[in-house]
Structures are given as structure tokens and as C-alpha cells.
Structure 1
């Protein structure tokens, strides 16, 4: 381990079209050549020298050169920033520029979280010769923004607007530096900071966006706020993994908004990566984390213990995985690197596996049941392994003007609400939330893998939403969210096949709650919540069938959830047998 580190700021690089991008470079100060780690960010390289995935100083002390570059049109880099513009060419040029530097031995790996993961997929698809490995963290599996929910037809409302406001800050600064007037942008971001809830509740929503964020809406609108951007092709729904021919380390979190994407990328690369070597060199690490560069052992209202995340005195689990990964694929070292390393909540410990879902997983059906009154946690809704007989459906009114409030879950930290597990009491007392709960468990039950709800439901509207949330109920009655998912009714057959609902007709829905790993402890109960809103995380479906953001008034909808021998709604849980742990 080296002790002397050299840091060079704003090192310039020219792209193929003559634009200057700038980077900070951290490296051992001994004149030798080292493998390099490159990350590219639109959020300002000045704040990226340390995060819980990779610390530039720690990596340099381990014998890597670390390059942190502002992307085109952001902060220290020249050019124009256009949201959604492909980053492949710039990333290709950056990789080859890094490889050509006198302090690099020619081997380049990439790392980075969120947007920094997107640019890695684009770089790997472009196939720069010097790129040896990538490590996309908490990243989307699709070129389409926010694909976890957006590909279900919904808009991640608070995340989108708070993210826009954050991005506009640098746009305003650059506008002023060029002599332009950014007063409208400044006013808009100020409102987003002081009255975000008022902005989110404004109807029609599209009328609120231009005065709030000015010309940024023209740039961002069609990229972010439409379920499927104009001109999108079927091949755009996922990255072109067949062109990715390098090893990958996929990092995710159970409370990350891309909790499903991490596993999609891992599975697609193992199945159809661009080379046999790449398919055999896929690795995944997933902890009890949210969408953030900081990965502490606590999220929301729970602490998962010191092993779960970063501590003031120790290495982080994510950095340990990155170091082993780059040691193997950039240096050729023989280090222990499992196929899958995952954190089991409840047991609060790390485990390893060779594949995902884990071999031996028992996909177990838990049927929804009631006597017709599953509304609220005090209702008669039951989650049972017994197949249903003749039962009445559960009904509730979804009023878009009185939506269920977002309470924890998979959301960005840029808004006002906290991500992660939070107590669900204020949600479960509502008359528009159905709750189906198991009896107290007589033994521990591990659930590790994909969670799917098969729901039979009807609505009085031509379009509506159905939301599902998996909850851990403690012996004292406290209820903490574990996983969540949704479906927008008109997109039930896919984002490219919108189809109105026939009011009153019983319709099957498949709701993907993505992935999780938890031991439901003896004495706890497992609960499923079913409702039709999660606001302001998800935009309110106004039940009209109109495009996003144009309605001034919504229409209340009568919803019915069926669970009988003809329409057996059930939650499929990936149960790990006790002997397989």
C-alpha cells in the first residue's frame, strides 16, 4: 500500500468532436504505471472523491490511478448538456485517453453509481479496447430513465421533480457565467426547495412545470415525464447486453429504486453477455441500502448492524467487493470473489451464492383471503398458503384527490421524504388500503429472491393503478415496508401495448415487487398491502385515461380485489428452506 498520493485537478481531455472535458486524477506519487479506475458524473467531480462504493484516496493507496471526470456540459467540462443524450462516444474517448496517460499501465476499469452506472453500460456497449471491466452501482438496466416504474407506465413524480431542480442549479450557474439571465431558473429551484409539496399537488401538473423550472422542462420533459419517450424501439427497453464483453460487478440495494434492475443486468449478462468470458465473469453485491452514494448500516427506521454498511472506522462492504473485483480483472490476482454476495435482513448477515435466484429456492404461493373486509390492518384480510374457496371480493374507493401518502420505500434522497423502511401505521389505518396478514410465524422464514403478486381486480375507471407492498409486522404491531411494486392498468400487457380497462371486468395483473432478502422472525407476521396510490413518489392516476399531467380533476374509482377459486389472487414468495441457509 502506497502512502504518497498525487492529486491533479481539472486535467483536460478533448473528445473526438473537440469538446474539452476535465477530470481530477488521484494516483500514487512514485512515477510508476498503474491500472486506472474511471468514473464520469454529471453531479460535480468535486463531490465524488469519496463514496462508499469507491474512495479515490483509498483506491490510490491500493495502487490504482483514479480519474473522476465531469460529463459534457456539467461543472468543469465544456459543451452543452442535453438530458438523455448518449454518453457512449465521450466514455469511449475518456477510456482510451486514460489508457494513454504515462501513469496508466493500459488497463482501465470503470465504476460509478446511478448515472455513473448508466455511462458504464454505454461505454461497454461502445467497446473501447482498453476497457477491461465495469462496476455499475445502483444503476438502471434500461436506456429509458427511471425504468423500474416508468416501464410500468407510471411517473416517479417527486424523484423526477426534485432531481430536475438539483440538475438545474448548474444550468443556472452556467447561464449566468455566460452573461445570460437565470432568474426564472433560480426562482423555480427555490420553489422546488421551499414548496415542493405544493408543486407536486398542483393540477394540471404540466401547467406547473414551466414556471417552476423554466426552459429545463423543454429539455427534460420528453425524456423524463413520458412513460415511453417518442421514437423508443423495443430494443431500447434494455441495454444491448450482447455488446458488453467485459466482466461486471453489479451493486444494488434492497431499498434502491433500481432494486430490480441490478438483478436484471446480472441475469442478462450471465445469459447473453458479449463473450463467454464475460458471461462467466459476472458478480453481484446487494445490501440493505437505498439509492445513495452513502451506504450506512441504517435505512429509514431500522439499523441492520455494523456489518451492513459503512462505519467511521472500517471499510465498506461495497468497497471491499470493488477492490476484489478490480484486483482480479485489472491485476489478474487470485482473490475470493463470489458470484453473488447478499445481505439478509432480519438475520443481519452477509451470505454468498453462485447464482440468482438461489438454487433450491421454493417459490411459494400465499393466497389472499378475507370475508370481504380487508380494509385497514384491523380488517379480516389473511395471507395463507391454503387455496381459496368461495369468498367475496374486497372493495375500496380510490380518490386521486386523497391519495395514500408515500411512507418510506424505494425513492431518491433528493426529495422531502426519507427512503427505506418506515413504520406503516398511518398507511394501514386508511380505508383505501387492503391488508392481508399471516398468523404469527411459529418459526423463522427466509424470503430471498424475486417477489411477485398475481392479482385479479376490477375497477370502475378506464384506467387506474394497483400498488403492492410487502411488510414485516413485529410482535408489538410495528409494520415496516420491505418491497413494493405497481402496475398502471392500461399498460398491464406491456409498455408498448397500452389498452384501456373495461370498467367492471375482472382483469389479471402481475405486479413485480423486484427483489429482497429477509428473514421474517418467529413471532412476526407477513403482510401484503394493496391499494391504488403512493403519492408523491408516484404520480396520481386520475382514472381518466388521459396522458400524464393534463387533468385538472380526477375521477374516484371503485376498486375490487378478487380471491376465490375462480380468481385466486396470490403473492409468490421465494422461500429458502431452513436446511439450505
Structure 2
């Protein structure tokens, strides 16, 4: 097997690297960018596993935005990655390592003692680790496209997420990152990464821990961030991000804790994990910031969002708290909006019921049950190849909707704009003749030409015959006149998720499969939307 190893890039000019000692003696590589004005300044810290000097992280383009606002910017490779020392294992040490890093920062001659944290995905998780650690210097965080539950994403909805497993198998083998093609047809699935590990000459401790029963250590099990000292949080989310459900669970959880409620802010955009935007989808090569790093300068204002303004309020005290909206979001196909809370105060619940092959606001009495067969040997294919860049691809998924193992219910064309603004949930009354089943639920926008594009999604492992509630995340999306909503149900989405074998075996260990029959009762099934006038 051919593998490509990528090590650390050269350090950026203008940055000075320090090897910062942790409490156990392990040293973490830390780059410091200083503003031109001498003296002491507030500091913004970003701790990442993706190489702080790489073009992908673009720290050399991001840091100047903070420097010109009077902040020191500090970027660090987390333990076991790139230039940092220590074992290569995600999550386990982040609470202590973040605390020790902040402790080092406030002791430097360029620090005024106030610290904020920023970053995406895993380096959004390290911000929550900083909150959990409770360092007194931490004034505010702005976690983007992430969640405190990111360590559990391997079982998204209790369904094995293969692309997250691949992330650990490529990123968390050793200090470097390894690129290779994965043959998902290998059975049992637990052996799918073995050829790559043999070629690399090393194994991923994270993958081994996953196969033994993930996670080996959950730092937040005994000290969840929301039990620590309250800190202002700017939740930065993307409506088309594959981690949107994790992000919004954190936002909702913060609103439910009295001591934290007034410190919760939302900054949402109609983008995916890597900042590709709905207005550009699918992304043309001329607009692809992955192909031309100079295009990053064009998207940086959108990427940074309101982070700098947020820090100016809570870290530097330059403006009053009242200058910030509690919720700012981009309503897909419409524009930017603000409100004093999320969902907006005027939002209401709209229930749509399956009836025949349609969605309606009132249920049809005596609706027939719907049955379909899931065959693990012929699973419903994943239309999106890389969910981290969903809007880069933004495929028409209508080609799947005629399959006999895909169930669809479609509403009438909208006569006027319908604004979805808040959570989307489905209650599905379904049962199987297998020991259990996977259920994938998607909400699509069907255009007048018949093309169908996903708005939101969710998945669940179902046992028994009771109705199951599937969270499809939150959205800010305008259904335009002439377009229709479509509820799409299936039992597989492969190879993004492991196919259910139809037996009682673990999908990672199964070698034999059995087709299973699913029965849906429309009378007990409905789609719950949050809409605004």
C-alpha cells in the first residue's frame, strides 16, 4: 500500500517558537506572534493537532488580524503532534495541557494576564478543555464547528462513523499525518486500516482504543466545562457542518444552566466545516481556497466572524456587552439576521406528517404502513464523498430517492418563502425484524427541476418497536417559492457510516450479513420544524 507522510512545515517568519514544558516534563511546540507595539497585551491562544505552521492552518494569515487589534497570537501543536513531544493520543491530556499552556502564557513579559482562546474542530475542543480546567486568566472562548462531545463522534447517534475512524487512522498515528486510500470493502471492518499501519510501520493508539471500546478516557466525564467557572462563549457554527448537532447541543446546554445562560452567544453561518458557503455551492475551482491559499484572504472576514468583536468586549472591555447580539446567523438563500435569543422569540413549531408519499400539516387517517428491505450487501451509497466539505460538493441526491430501500415523503410546493429557523427533529415509528437497525433521516430541499439538496440530517441505532426521536440539528434556511420539503429515510449511508449487518454482531467484527425488513407506521411519524413568520 502506498502512503504519503506529511511532517511539519517550516516555521513562519515573524513567529518565535518556544518549547513549553507541561507538568510532566513533556514540551509542546508553541509559536508566538507579537504585535508591533511594545509592552504587555492580551493573548489569544489556539491549540491544534494539524501543524501550526502548515498552509492548511494558515496561522500566518490569521495571526495578523489579531495583532492589528492589539492581541498577541499564540499557536501550539498539541501533545504528540508535529513539533511537540509526548504520546500521540487525542483528548486525554487536553485539560491539563491547556491549563499549563495558559499558565506559561500569563508569565511572559508580553502578556497582560488576560487570555482568550479560538479555533475550529479539535482546536475548538481544546478551548472547552481550557474552560474545564478553570484557569483564572481565561476571559472568553470562541469554539467553531466543534463540541464538548466530539470524542464520542465515532458513535454518531450510536451508529459507527467510518469517516471519523479514518480521521484517527490518518491523523493520530504519530506526530505526522498520513494520506492513503482506504479499501472499505475489507471484512471484518476492524482490519480495514491494517495494511496502512503495516506500510507506515506504526499503529494509531486512538484506533486501537476505538476498537477496544471508545473512549479510553473522557476528560469531561468528571469535570464538564459547564460545571467550571463561567466564561463568555461565542458558539460559532455552520448550518452545513457535519458537527452542527454537537455545537448546538453545547449552546442549548449552556442556556439551560443559570450561571452560564447570559454568557452564551451564537454566530452561525450557512457554511460547512471548512468554511465553504451555500452561496458558492458547489464550489468552482476559481473560488476554492484549498487550491489557492491567497483566496483565504477573501474569506477570512467571514471565517473569523464576530470573534474579534467578541474578544474586544469580554477580553479588552473596549465596548459594552450591549453592542453584541445574542444570536447572529445567515438565513440560507436570504441573508444575515440577528435576534435576542435562539431560536428567535417569534419562532413556532410546525409539524408535518407522512401521508402516502407526501408530507402534510394534518395526518391522514388509516395511512398504510410502509415496508422496505435493508440489504447490507447492497447498502445505500453515500452521495457526499467528504462530509467535512459538504458544500464544496453539494451534490444532487435525488438519484437515490427511487431506490426501493429509500423511503421518501415530499411536501407540496411552497407558495411563499418558508423560513426554517431553529431545531429540526423527526419522531419515527419504525421497527425491524433484525435485532436492531440503523436509521438515517435527512431533510431535503427539492427544486422545481426535481434536484434535491440536503438541508439537515441525523441518524440513530434503533432497538425495539417504540418511536425514536432523531435530532437533525439546527438550521437557518429559506425554502423558496416553488420548492418542496422532502423527508428521506434509509438504513444505510455507506461508506460514511458502517453498514448494519442485519445480525446481532458488531459492525466492526461482522463477516456474515442478513437482509432485514423495516416497517414504518406513518401515523406515529412526524417531522418537527422550527419556523419564523
Q: TM-score, normalised by structure 2?
A: 0.88
- Aligned counterparts of 1:545 and 1:261: Cα–Cα separation in 2: 28
Would the alpha carbon gap of residues 237 and 458 (structure 1) be closer, same or farther in structure 2, given more than 3 Å must change? Answer: farther
1:360 is aligned to 346
Asked if structure 2 preserves the Cα contact closer than 8 Å seen for 1:49 and 1:57, the reply is no
Equivalent pairs, count: 509
Asked if structure 1 preserves the Cα contact closer than 8 Å seen for 2:276 and 2:391, the reply is no
Would the alpha carbon gap of residues 536 and 90 (structure 1) be closer, same or farther in structure 2, given more than 3 Å must change? Answer: same
2:67 is aligned to 60
State how 1:440-459 maps to structure 2 within 5 Å: 440-459=413-432
State how 1:156-175 maps to structure 2 within 5 Å: 156-168=161-173, 170-171=175-176
State how 1:15-414 maps to structure 2 within 5 Å: 15-47=22-54, 55-142=62-149, 144-146=151-153, 150=155, 152-168=157-173, 170-171=175-176, 189=178, 193-194=180-181, 196=182, 199-214=183-198, 219-221=205-207, 223-224=209-210, 229=215, 236=221, 239-272=224-257, 276=259, 278-292=260-274, 294-296=275-277, 298=279, 300-301=281-282, 312-313=297-298, 315-334=300-319, 336-347=323-334, 349-370=335-356, 381-408=357-384, 411-413=387-389
Structure 2, unpaired ranges of 5+: 1-11, 288-294
1:182 is aligned to none
2:292 is aligned to none
**Residue by residue, what CA displacement relative to the aligned partner does 1:52-85 show, whole Å, maximum 9, x if unpaired?**
9981111112211000011112111122222331
Of 396, 404, 411, 1:423 maps to 396
SS at match of 1:46: coil
Asked if structure 2 preserves the Cα contact closer than 8 Å seen for 1:151 and 1:228, the reply is no
Instruction: Please report how far the alpha carbon of residue 110 of structure 1 lies from its aligned counterpart in structure 2 after TM superposition.
Output: 0.6
Bigger mean CA offset, 46-55 vs 552-561? 46-55
Bigger mean CA offset, 352-361 vs 435-444? 352-361
SS at match of 1:168: coil
**Residue by residue, what CA displacement relative to the aligned partner does 1:316-365 show, whole Å, maximum 9, x if unpaired?**
23424001011011110116321111111122x11111222221221111
Asked if structure 2 preserves the Cα contact closer than 8 Å seen for 1:465 and 1:486, the reply is yes
SS at match of 2:82: coil
Asked if structure 1 preserves the Cα contact closer than 8 Å seen for 2:238 and 2:272, the reply is yes
Of 452, 457, 463, 1:479 maps to 452
Would the alpha carbon gap of residues 224 and 514 (structure 1) be closer, same or farther in structure 2, given more than 3 Å must change? Answer: farther
Instruction: Please report how far the alpha carbon of residue 156 of structure 1 lies from its aligned counterpart in structure 2 after TM superposition.
Output: 1.2
SS at match of 1:57: helix
**Residue by residue, what CA displacement relative to the aligned partner does 1:457-484 show, whole Å, maximum 9, x if unpaired?**
1211111111111000111111111101
**Residue by residue, what CA displacement relative to the aligned partner does 1:8-40 show, whole Å, maximum 9, x if unpaired?**
332221112222212111111332211110011
1:373 is aligned to none
SS at match of 2:175: helix
Of 519, 525, 530, 2:478 maps to 519
Would the alpha carbon gap of residues 285 and 410 (structure 1) be closer, same or farther in structure 2, given more than 3 Å must change? Answer: farther
State how 1:526-545 maps to structure 2 within 5 Å: 526-545=485-504
Asked if structure 2 preserves the Cα contact closer than 8 Å seen for 1:153 and 1:227, the reply is no
Would the alpha carbon gap of residues 394 and 478 (structure 1) be closer, same or farther in structure 2, given more than 3 Å must change? Answer: same
- Aligned counterparts of 2:59 and 2:397: Cα–Cα separation in 1: 29
Would the alpha carbon gap of residues 314 and 570 (structure 1) be closer, same or farther in structure 2, given more than 3 Å must change? Answer: closer
- Aligned counterparts of 2:282 and 2:45: Cα–Cα separation in 1: 35
2:529 is aligned to 573
**Residue by residue, what CA displacement relative to the aligned partner does 1:213-233 show, whole Å, maximum 9, x if unpaired?**
358656113544577536779
**Residue by residue, what CA displacement relative to the aligned partner does 1:140-165 show, whole Å, maximum 9, x if unpaired?**
23263316xx2521111023214421
Instruction: Please report how far the alpha carbon of residue 252 of structure 1 lies from its aligned counterpart in structure 2 after TM superposition.
Output: 0.8
- Aligned counterparts of 2:448 and 2:59: Cα–Cα separation in 1: 34
Asked if structure 1 preserves the Cα contact closer than 8 Å seen for 2:172 and 2:206, the reply is no
The RMSD of aligned alpha carbons is 2.8
SS at match of 1:326: helix
Asked if structure 2 preserves the Cα contact closer than 8 Å seen for 1:52 and 1:295, the reply is no
Q: TM-score, normalised by structure 1?
A: 0.81
Would the alpha carbon gap of residues 237 and 559 (structure 1) be closer, same or farther in structure 2, given more than 3 Å must change? Answer: farther
Structure 1, unpaired ranges of 5+: 173-188, 371-380, 491-500
Instruction: Please report how far the alpha carbon of residue 438 of structure 1 lies from its aligned counterpart in structure 2 after TM superposition.
Output: 0.7
1:177 is aligned to none
Instruction: Please report how far the alpha carbon of residue 169 of structure 1 lies from its aligned counterpart in structure 2 after TM superposition.
Output: 6.3
- Aligned counterparts of 2:176 and 2:296: Cα–Cα separation in 1: 35
Bigger mean CA offset, 218-227 vs 37-46? 218-227
Would the alpha carbon gap of residues 257 and 244 (structure 1) be closer, same or farther in structure 2, given more than 3 Å must change? Answer: farther
Instruction: Please report how far the alpha carbon of residue 41 of structure 1 lies from its aligned counterpart in structure 2 after TM superposition.
Output: 0.8
- Aligned counterparts of 1:52 and 1:389: Cα–Cα separation in 2: 59
SS at match of 1:144: helix
Of 517, 522, 533, 1:563 maps to 522
Asked if structure 1 preserves the Cα contact closer than 8 Å seen for 2:371 and 2:517, the reply is yes
2:410 is aligned to 437
- Aligned counterparts of 2:312 and 2:213: Cα–Cα separation in 1: 40
